[in-house]
Amino acid sequence: MKNLLGRLDLSYIYAFLSEATLGLTFIFYMVLARVFGPEQYGIFASAGALAIILAFFIQFGLPFLLGREVAANPKEGSKSTIEFLVLQGFNSLLVLIILFPVARALGFQGTGITICYLLVLAEVCRSAKQTIRSVFRGWGEFRTETVSVAIERFLVVLLSGVVLFLSKDLVWVVATLVLVRTVDILGLLYYLSKKTQIWSPISFESLWQTLKMAYPFAISAVLWILYYQIDLLMLKGLAPTEEAGFYSAAYRITEIFSSLPRVIFSVTFTRFALCQSTEPEKLPKEIHKSAYLLLAGVLPVLVAGGLLQTFIVETIYGKAFSPAINSLAFLLPSLGIKMFGTLVEYFFQATRREKFLPPLLLTTVIVNIISNALLIPQMGAMGAAIATLLSEIVLAIAGLILMTRIGYKRVARRLILISLISLLVAAIPSLMLNGLNSAMAIGLIIPSLLAIFFLMRPNYFLKQID
Task: State the Cα–Cα distance between residues 321 and 379, nearest whole angstrom.
Answer: 16
Mind listing the pLDDT tens digit for each residue in 128-156?
988 888 888 778 777 787 788 888 888 88
CA atoms of 185 and 92, how far apart (whole Å): 15
d(CA 463, CA 1): 24
Residue 208 has pLDDT above 70, yes or no: yes
How much is the mean pLDDT over the chain? Answer: 83
Q: Name the more confident of 118 and 279.
A: 118
Non-local (6+) Cβ contacts of 86 within 8 A are: 202, 207
**How confident is the model over 299-314, as a mean pLDDT?**
90
Model confidence band, residue 9 (pLDDT cutoffs 50, 70, 90)? low
Q: Is the pLDDT of residue 2 over 70?
A: no
Task: Provide the CA 337 distance to its chain's centre, in angstroms.
Answer: 14
- d(C-alpha 342, C-alpha 76), whole Å: 28
Distance, in Å, from the CA atom of 180 to the CA atom of 357, rounded to the nearest integer, reads: 35
Q: Check residue 220 and give its pLDDT.
A: 67
Which pLDDT value is given to residue 330? 92
pLDDT, residue 7, reads 46
Question: Is the pLDDT confidence value at 160 over 90?
Answer: no
Q: Is 448 left (phi over 0), alpha (psi -120 to 50) or beta?
A: alpha
Rg, Å, the chain Cα set:
22
| pLDDT for the residue numbered 215 | 75
Check residue 169 and give left, alpha or beta (phi > 0: left; psi -120 to 50: alpha): beta
Which pLDDT score, from 0 to 100, does residue 32 have? Answer: 79
Distance CA 461, CA 466 (A): 12
Distance CA 361, CA 363 (A): 5
Task: Give per-residue pLDDT as tens, 228-276.
Answer: 567 777 887 787 777 877 888 888 888 888 888 887 887 788 788 778 7
Among residues 430, 243, 409, 215, the alpha carbon closest in space to that of 335 is found at 430
Handedness of CA 187, 193, 196, 197 (dihedral sign): positive
First to last CA, the chain: 31
Which of 358, 458, 326, 343 is CA-nearest to residue 396? 343
More confident residue, 326 or 43: 326
Tell which residue, 53, 34, 428, 427, has the closest CA to residue 249. 34
pTM, two decimals, is: 0.72
The rounded distance, in Å, linking the Cα atoms of 29 and 324 is 15
pLDDT of residue 68: 80
Each as own residue / partner, the long-range contacts of residues 246-249 (CB below 8 Å, 24 or more positions apart, any chain) are 246/38, 246/321, 246/323, 246/324, 246/326, 246/327, 246/380, 246/381, 247/45, 247/324, 247/327, 247/381, 247/384, 247/385, 248/41, 248/42, 248/45, 249/33, 249/41, 249/313, 249/316, 249/317, 249/321, 249/324
Q: Contact 245/33 with Cβ under 8 angstroms?
A: yes
- pLDDT value, residue 4: 44
Q: Give the model confidence (pLDDT) of 56-104 as tens digits.
A: 888 888 887 888 888 777 777 788 888 888 888 888 999 889 888 888 8
* H-type alpha helices, 196-319: 204-220, 222-224, 230-238, 241-278, 283-297, 299-307, 309-317
Task: Tell whether the model's pLDDT for residue 462 goes beyond 70.
Answer: yes
Query: Do residues 148 and 133 touch, judged by C-beta distance below 8 A?
Result: yes
* pLDDT band at 295; cut points 50, 70, 90: very high
Q: For residue 466, what pLDDT is reported?
A: 44
Cα–Cα distance for residue pair 460/64, rounded to 1 Å: 32
Q: How far apart are CA 146 and CA 135, in angstroms?
A: 13
Are 317 and 249 in contact by the 8 Å Cβ rule? The answer is yes
Residue 465 CA to residue 406 CA, distance in Å, equals 11
Burial environment of residue 190 by CB neighbours within 10 A (0 to 12, 13 to 18, 19 or more): exposed
Whether residue 290 has pLDDT greater than 80 = yes
